[in-house]
Chain A
Amino acid sequence: MDRRHFLQTTAVTALVAQGYLPLLAAERKARPGKRAGRNAVYHGSKNIYTEPAAIEPITGYLPQFNPVANRTMDGTFVAKYSLIACNGSAAKSINSVRGSLDVVFSDALCRTTEVRQARPQNIVKTELKCSGRFNTASSWTLDSYVEGMAELRFVEKGTWDGKTMIVKSKSWTQKHSTSHPLIGRWALLPLLSSGMVKAKPLTFDMLDDSTLRSDQILRYTGQIEIPVAGGKAKLGCYAQTGWGIVPTHYLVDAEGRVQLITMSTVNWALSNLG
């Protein structure tokens, strides 16, 4: 640890001990009123594109995270993720497992089951038919129900014709114009696994359950080494920004497994792959 880093660390620790949490900028030296350019010097990290933003919401969880290493995410696969909630931060982020996600990808069909722990639990099942090399959405169903409350169940069916997405239930029809290829959030996994986004950023509209999140950009931002259970892991980092999301990082290992996805208060950790 160099002297600068030591002083920064001890200063921050002292502030935390006094009840102050300097959210930002304890170490950055940007001058007021002047934006730091792409080549600006940021102190304290070797890779300004990925550290620590990519893992900041899950630093408390990472020491117990074991990267999954059995099979890969190409072709047919079944991936299980744990929802890692971030409830604040102290010396590390405060994390707890608050739900799960199962993703089954087979023959351009992406099926998901998502459970968010709450009282009562909301369970969302989706089935998305994809097409083309970017897994663009062609049709989907969403089945939402709340544990023990049959009166809250609804099913939506959606289609996308390349320009407009239409979502129908028994009671309503919703239409939204799109301006980019429409890709389901979890249909991104095989694209990330394939490495095809590494060479060229992907611009798309995202289908998040039946919600449209438009104007997304997913780009490769470099490699990152992170602490995990029993050591460190080197992962490729992809970052997504766009309408209606906080910057989202996908951390992908050398075999193309999307091990971690970090957003902010909701994050996902791969727990099983079959």
Chain B
Amino acid sequence: MESAVEMTKQRNILFIHVDQMHFQAMSAYGNRHVKTPAMDRMARDGYSFRASYTAMPQCCPARASWYTGRMSSEHGVPTNGCPIRPDLPDLGQWLSEHGHYDSVYAGKWHVTGRDVARSFRVIYGSGMGEHADGSIARACMGFLENYHNDRPFFLNAGFMNPHDCCYTAGASGGYGKFRFAPEIEDKLPPLPKNFSSPVPGKRIAFWTEQDWQYYIYIYYRWVEMVDAEIGRLYDALMNSRFAHNTLVVFAADHGDGLGFHGNITKGYMEEEAWRVPTIIIPPGRLPTGKQDHEHLSIGVDIPATICDYANVPLLPKMTIGKSLRPLVEGNEVDTWHEYIVGESFLGRGQIGVRDATYKTIFYCDGPVKVFDLKADPLEMKDLSASMAGKAVANKHRKHLREYLDRIELCQPGGSKEKQKPYETYLDYYRTVRKVA
């Protein structure tokens, strides 16, 4: 048993996460249409992993991966609403048990099947961003103001915005706040270069190009809204006695379409949904504000990094996640992710495999898309029909089989109805293995 003095040497951890944030929606990353002074400060103080991806681009699966260190097809939450495997420990429990941490939670949790109060000391609940994010920031600030425990803290601030973009619908298909457009017309951001008209039948098929611009404009305001709350909390920490001894992790559970490829929301493997912002600010901060575009990162690297800084073992059976700490601290790493795999089991299901240059999207019902992300970062030219594209897809199929050998697929029991959400990946992965 460590003494109280030794325990106080342990690092505190502040995990700030946001919901549905596009990986480029930050002024520090060159976006001229949104101003994010707080996130920019974090990027300046820390290490930005610019090639960072979520384990599964939907809320519950992505969050379950953060907190269990396991991939979406492992932890029992392939899509929103599926219950997490009860036998898996989560970071709250793990750090309390192995690092004597005071695991504290405020805000959005959204890991179905597990009561957050079972794993954390909950100081504030969740709600829509505009309604709750200010209160979440204030609860966390109050916590920092009054914390005098000998134990290190693992404080989680789960902000909701910019997820409020999911509630923009005007009644009966009206315009909502978008009708304000004439007053802000000169401020409307341009459409992304890879914008395309959405597939007919989608609810957004009626949008004009200008409507899309309104959507992007308002989305950025929600990003700024949460940035203001993050700024309050981050500044409170950095001006407090905990500044020198606290790791700060900033991440988003998934992105948002934001008009890229004519998409909104999430759940697919194109960059706009799969790729996410990730910043690690080590205790004492970094003077460089490094932005790393080379090293690939996946959502389960977050718990690996937190365990590393907390000086506790990795969560059980974490076979994919790697600690980002050596990179953050400028140390040599012998091996890094040669490729990453992301999964989405919504609808037809799709698997993304990305290496340093290429990405392949395998759709579970057969089709494949291949993109050269170095030459074509906006994924506008599908190479799957070319010889080169076929070679990439074959290589990535091999990676996918390697990946399957490393993970432990969750095969829940129960009624057929209950198993339905899991069949997408179980069927597809059976096929992948059979071909091998």
Contact = CB atoms under 8 A, between A and B. Distances in A.
Contacts of B209: 30, 32-33
Contact of B124 (A21, A57, A83, A146): A146
B173 A12 contact: yes
Contact of B125 (A37, A49, A92, A120): A120
Given A12-B172, A122-B139, A152-B123, 17 more contacts: A22-B203, A23-B170, A23-B178, A24-B207, A36-B210, A38-B185, A49-B183, A52-B174, A52-B176, A53-B178, A56-B171, A118-B125, A170-B145, A209-B134, A213-B228, A246-B130, A246-B225
Interface of B: 35, 123-132, 134-135, 138-139, 141-147, 164, 167-185, 187-188, 197, 203-211, 213-215, 218, 221-222, 224-225, 227-229, 231-232, 235-236, 239-241
Interface residues on A, range: 35 or more
A89 B211 contact: no
Contacts of A88: 167, 169
A193 interface: no
Contacts of B141: 144, 154, 169
A243 B145 contact: no
A257 interface: no
21 contacts: A21-B169, A24-B215, A28-B210, A30-B210, A45-B179, A48-B182, A52-B171, A52-B174, A57-B176, A89-B171, A146-B139, A152-B123, A152-B143, A154-B145, A169-B141, A171-B241, A241-B184, A244-B228, A246-B177, A246-B218, A264-B130
Contact of B176 (A15, A53, A149): A53
Interface string A217-261: 001010000000000000000010101111100000000000000
B236 A241 contact: no
B164 A119 contact: no
B142 A152 contact: yes
B145 to A, nearest CB: 4
A164 to B, nearest CB: 14
B164 A264 contact: yes
A239 B309 CA distance: 47
Interface of A: 9, 12-13, 15-16, 20-26, 28, 30-38, 40, 45, 48-49, 51-53, 56-57, 59-60, 83, 85-93, 98-99, 116, 118-120, 122, 124, 144-146, 149-154, 169-174, 208-213, 219, 221, 239, 241, 243-247, 263-266
A56 B173 contact: no
Contacts of B124: 118, 120, 122, 146, 152
Contacts of B197: 32
B177 A264 contact: yes
Contacts of B187: 241
Nearest to B131: A266
Contacts of B203: 15, 20-23
B211 A124 contact: no
Q: Which 5 A-B pairs have the closest CB atoms?
A: A152-B142, A172-B239, A122-B135, A53-B179, A244-B224
A96 B221 CA distance: 24
Contact of B173 (A23, A86, A152): A23
B135 to A, nearest CB: 4
A265 B131 contact: yes
A148 to B, nearest CB: 10
A56 B131 contact: no
A247 B173 contact: no
Nearest to B212: A24
A35 B167 contact: no
B123 A244 contact: no
A266 B168 CA distance: 12
A174 B174 contact: no
Nearest to A171: B240
Contacts of A38: 182, 185
A259 B181 CA distance: 23
B134 to A, nearest CB: 7
B157 to A, nearest CB: 13
Contacts of A210: 232
Contacts of B146: 150-154
A105 B419 CA distance: 59
Contacts of B231: 211
A11 B126 CA distance: 36
B185 to A, nearest CB: 6
Contacts of A85: 128, 131
Given A24-B206, A118-B124, A154-B142, A16 B167 contact: no
A265 B167 contact: yes
Contacts of B138: 122, 124, 144, 146, 152, 154, 209
B144 to A, nearest CB: 7
Contacts of A153: 142, 145-146
Query: Most chain-B CB neighbours within 10 Å: which of A26, A30, A219?
Result: A26
A38 B186 CA distance: 10
A221 B183 CA distance: 9
A211 B229 contact: yes
A44 to B, nearest CB: 9
Contacts of B229: 211
A25 B206 contact: yes
